[in-house]
C-alpha cells in the first residue's frame, strides 16, 4: 500500500503526543492564517483558472469565511479544550466527574473541487484544533488549486503531523484501505457510500457532507423583486456549483409569471445584458460537468431566461427553465450549474408533499412575507439546514451547525462543531482511594436493605411537570 508509510509516520507523531499542547495547535492554526494571507493572490489565480471563479467570490468564500473559522477557533480554543465538569449524584459529590476532549488520532479529509480551499481548510482547522494529525486529499478536478496546496501548504504545517496527498480515484481508493481514526468527506452521495463502506472495515467514524436537490419554495405572498435577487444570487454564485445552492423553485403558476421578469432583471443587474462578458460569472469546472449541465438544460421545460452555452469556455448562461415537469431530466439529479428550473405547484401543501416524497436535501429554502408559511415549511419537512427568505446565508454563521441528513449526509461542522466533530468526548470519573464504606452497599452479599440505600443514593427523581414549550 503506497500510503502505509505516510499513515504510520503520522500515527507515530500522534502517539508521541506532539499535537496535544494548546500552544502547538495554535501555532499550526496561525500558520494556516499566514498561508491564506501569503498565498491569497495564488489562491485567486488558481480558482480563476480552475473554474473561472470571480476574485470577489474567492475572497468571500475561500478566504474571508476561512479566516472567520480560524479566528473563531483561535479565540475559543483554550475554552473548548478544557475538561467540562458535569453534574454528579449524591454518592459522587466528593468525586471529580468531567468530559475530557481527546483527539481521535490520524484523520483523513477528502475535499471536493467547488470550493477547493474552503472545503479542506475549514475541516482541517477543526481537526488541528482538536489535536489530530491530518492527511488532506484535495480534489484532482480543480487541478491548479490542487497543485498550489500540494506545493505550498506543507511549508506552513509541521510535516511530521500533516500531509497533502494528491491523485485521482485510484489513489483515493488505496488511501482509504488504510486505517484512519476519522474520515471527513465532502462530495457526492454515491462516493459517500464508498467512503463509509471503506471506513466500516476499520470501524472508523465519518462525517459525510454530501448533496442533493435543495428545494426553494416561494409563496404567493412575497416581495418578488427581493426574492428574485436573493434566489438568483444563490443559484448563480460560483456558476451554480454550490452544494447548498437553491436547486429548483416550487411556486404557483401566478408566482412563476411574476418571478420571471423579476429574475430576468436580477440577472441583468448582476451580469449585464451579455453575461458571458461579465467578469463576475464563473465557468463549469470541466468538460464533463459542462456537457452534463447542458444536457439537462436542453431536455427540460422551456428556456425562459438564458440558455446559451459555449463549449470552448465551458460557459453556461444564467438560465431559468419554466414549466418543468417532475419527470424531466433536470429533476432527476443535483444540477450543480447555473440553471434554475421552476416546477409549478398548486399551493404550499403540494410543495411540502413534493419535497417530502424526495430525498432529504442539504438545504431547504422558503420565501414568504408570512412567517407562518416559513414556519410551516420548516416544521413539516426535514433537511440538513434551512433558510427562510434568503439563500446560502445560514452557512455564513459559525454558530450554526452545517451538515446533511439522509442522502445529503451525516455529521456536522463549522465553528465549535468542527472541533467537536474531531474530538472524542471521554467520560471520566476520578474517585478517592478511601471512603470505602460508601461502596460497601453495592457489594455482595446482597440484601434488601442494601438495595434500599443504593436506590436512595443513586436514583434520579421525577420532577413536577415542566414549563410549556
Residues belonging to the active site: 209, 243
With CB under 8 A as the rule, give the number of residues binding its own copies.
132
Contact 267, 305 (CB under 8 A): yes
Q: Which helix (H) or strand (E) holds 350?
A: helix 348-356
- Residues 389-448 within binding reach of its own copies (CB under 8 A): 389-390, 393-403, 405-407, 409-412, 424-434, 436, 439, 442-447
Strands 84-85 and 96-103: antiparallel
Residue 137-176 contact track with its own copies, rule CB under 8 A, x = bound:
----------------------------------------
- Residues 232-271 within binding reach of its own copies (CB under 8 A): 233, 269-271
The one-character DSSP state at 90 is G
Contact 267, 232 (CB under 8 A): yes
Window of 141-149, 249-257, 277-285, 330-338 that interacts with its own copies by CB under 8 A: 277-285
Q: How far apart (Å, rounded) are the C-alpha atoms in residues 209 and 187?
A: 6
Could you say which of 170, 277, 327, 462 contacts its own copies (CB under 8 A)?
462
Could you say which of 90, 312, 346, 469 contacts its own copies (CB under 8 A)?
469
Short-list 57, 46, 59, 6, CA closest to 151: 46
Burial class (CB in 10 A: 0-12, 13-18, 19+), 264: middle
The one-character DSSP state at 359 is P
Could you say which of 51, 208, 343, 351 contacts its own copies (CB under 8 A)?
208
- Residues 108-137 within binding reach of its own copies (CB under 8 A): none
Taking the CA atoms of 437, 443, 445 and 447 in sequence, report the sign of the dihedral they define.
positive
Q: How far is the CB of 143 from its own copies (least distance, A)?
A: 25
Between 114 and 421, whose beta carbon lies closer to its own copies? 421
Q: How far is the CB of 166 from its own copies (least distance, A)?
A: 26
Window of 89-97, 159-167, 291-299, 337-345 that interacts with its own copies by CB under 8 A: 89-97
Q: How far is the CB of 129 from its own copies (least distance, A)?
A: 13
Cell 483558472 sits at which residue?
Answer: 49
Could you say which of 9, 71, 264, 265 contacts its own copies (CB under 8 A)?
71
Measured CA to CA in angstroms, residue 215 lies from 164, 332, 341 at distances of 35, 13, 10
The cell for 251 is 411556486
Between 58 and 252, whose beta carbon lies closer to its own copies? 58
Window of 141-149, 228-236, 248-256, 338-346 that interacts with its own copies by CB under 8 A: 228-236
- Residues 50-69 within binding reach of its own copies (CB under 8 A): 54-57, 59-60, 64, 67-69
Which three-class secondary structure state does DSSP give residue 343? Answer: strand
Residue 427: phi and psi, rounded to 5, are -75, 125
Which residues lie below 8 Å from residue 259, measured CB to CB, with a gap of 6+?
Answer: 218, 224, 227, 228, 249, 251, 342
Residue 3-42 contact track with its own copies, rule CB under 8 A, x = bound:
------------x-x----x--------------------
Quick one: how far is CA 128 from the chain centroid?
Answer: 17
Burial class (CB in 10 A: 0-12, 13-18, 19+), 314: buried
Window of 36-44, 135-143, 201-209, 342-350 that interacts with its own copies by CB under 8 A: 201-209
- Residues 313-372 within binding reach of its own copies (CB under 8 A): 356, 367-369, 371
Strand partners, 177: none
Residue 423: phi and psi, rounded to 5, are -115, 145
Is 273 among the residues that bind its own copies (CB under 8 A)? Answer: no
Window of 72-80, 154-162, 164-172, 301-309 that interacts with its own copies by CB under 8 A: 72-80
Window of 170-178, 189-197, 290-298, 338-346 that interacts with its own copies by CB under 8 A: 189-197
- Residues 278-317 within binding reach of its own copies (CB under 8 A): 278-281
Q: How far apart (Å, rounded) are the C-alpha atoms in residues 263 and 278?
A: 17
H runs (alpha helix) in 82-206: 118-129, 143-152, 169-177, 189-201
Could you say which of 159, 193, 288, 372 contacts its own copies (CB under 8 A)?
193
Could you say which of 8, 78, 173, 325 contacts its own copies (CB under 8 A)?
78
Amino acid at each position: 500500500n503506497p500510503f502505509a508509510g505516510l499513515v504510520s509516520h503520522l500515527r507515530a507523531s500522534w502517539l508521541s503526543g506532539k499535537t496535544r499542547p494548546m500552544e502547538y495547535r495554535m501555532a499550526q492554526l496561525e500558520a494556516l492564517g499566514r498561508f491564506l494571507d501569503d498565498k491569497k493572490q495564488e489562491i485567486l489565480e488558481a480558482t480563476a483558472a480552475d473554474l473561472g471563479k470571480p476574485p470577489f467570490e474567492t475572497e468571500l468564500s475561500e478566504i474571508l469565511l476561512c479566516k472567520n473559522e480560524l479566528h473563531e477557533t483561535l479565540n475559543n480554543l483554550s475554552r473548548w479544550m478544557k475538561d467540562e465538569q458535569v453534574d454528579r449524584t449524591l454518592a459522587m459529590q466528593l468525586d471529580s466527574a468531567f468530559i475530557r476532549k481527546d483527539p481521535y488520532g490520524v484523520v483523513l479529509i477528502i475535499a471536493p473541487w467547488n470550493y477547493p480551499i474552503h472545503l479542506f481548510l475549514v475541516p482541517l482547522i477543526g481537526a488541528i484544533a482538536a489535536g489530530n494529525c491530518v492527511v488532506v486529499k484535495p480534489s484532482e478536478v480543480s487541478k491548479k488549486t490542487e497543485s498550489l496546496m500540494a506545493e505550498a501548504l506543507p511549508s506552513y504545517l509541521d510535516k511530521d503531523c500533516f500531509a497533502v496527498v494528491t491523485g485521482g480515484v485510484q489513489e483515493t481508493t488505496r488511501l482509504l484501505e488504510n486505517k484512519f481514526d476519522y474520515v471527513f468527506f465532502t462530495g457526492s452521495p454515491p462516493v459517500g457510500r464508498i467512503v463509509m463502506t471503506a471506513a466500516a472495515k476499520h470501524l472508523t467514524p465519518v462525517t459525510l457532507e454530501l448533496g442533493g436537490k435543495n428545494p426553494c419554495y416561494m409563496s404567493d405572498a412575497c416581495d418578488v423583486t427581493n426574492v428574485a435577487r436573493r434566489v438568483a444570487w444563490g443559484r448563480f454564485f460560483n456558476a451554480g456549483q454550490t452544494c447548498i445552492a437553491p436547486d429548483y423553485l416550487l411556486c404557483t403558476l401566478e408566482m412563476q409569471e411574476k418571478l420571471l421578469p423579476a429574475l430576468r432583471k436580477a440577472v441583468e443587474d448582476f451580469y449585464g445584458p451579455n453575461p458571458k462578458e461579465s467578469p463576475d460569472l464563473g465557468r463549469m469546472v470541466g468538460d464533463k460537468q459542462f456537457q452534463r449541465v447542458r444536457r439537462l438544460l436542453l431536455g427540460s421545460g422551456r428556456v425562459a431566461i438564458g440558455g446559451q452555452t459555449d463549449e470552448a469556455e465551458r460557459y453556461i448562461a444564467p438560465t431559468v427553465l419554466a414549466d418543468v415537469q417532475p419527470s424531466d431530466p433536470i429533476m432527476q439529479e443535483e444540477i450543480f450549474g447555473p440553471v434554475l428550473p421552476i416546477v409549478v405547484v398548486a399551493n404550499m401543501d403540494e410543495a411540502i408533499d413534493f419535497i417530502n416524497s424526495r430525498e432529504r436535501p442539504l438545504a431547504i429554502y422558503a420565501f414568504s412575507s408570512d412567517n407562518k408559511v416559513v414556519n410551516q415549511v420548516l416544521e413539516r419537512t426535514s433537511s440538513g439546514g434551512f433558510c427562510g427568505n434568503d439563500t446560502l446565508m445560514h452557512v455564513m454563521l459559525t454558530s450554526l451547525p452545517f451538515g446533511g441528513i439522509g442522502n445529503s449526509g451525516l455529521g456536522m461542522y463549522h465553528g465549535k462543531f468542527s472541533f467537536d466533530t474531531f474530538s472524542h468526548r471521554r467520560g471520566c470519573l476520578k474517585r478517592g482511594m478511601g471512603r470505602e464504606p460508601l461502596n460497601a452497599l453495592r457489594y455482595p452479599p446482597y440484601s434488601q436493605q442494601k438495595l434500599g440505600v443504593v436506590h436512595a443514593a443513586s436514583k434520579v427523581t421525577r420532577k413536577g411537570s415542566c414549563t410549556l414549550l
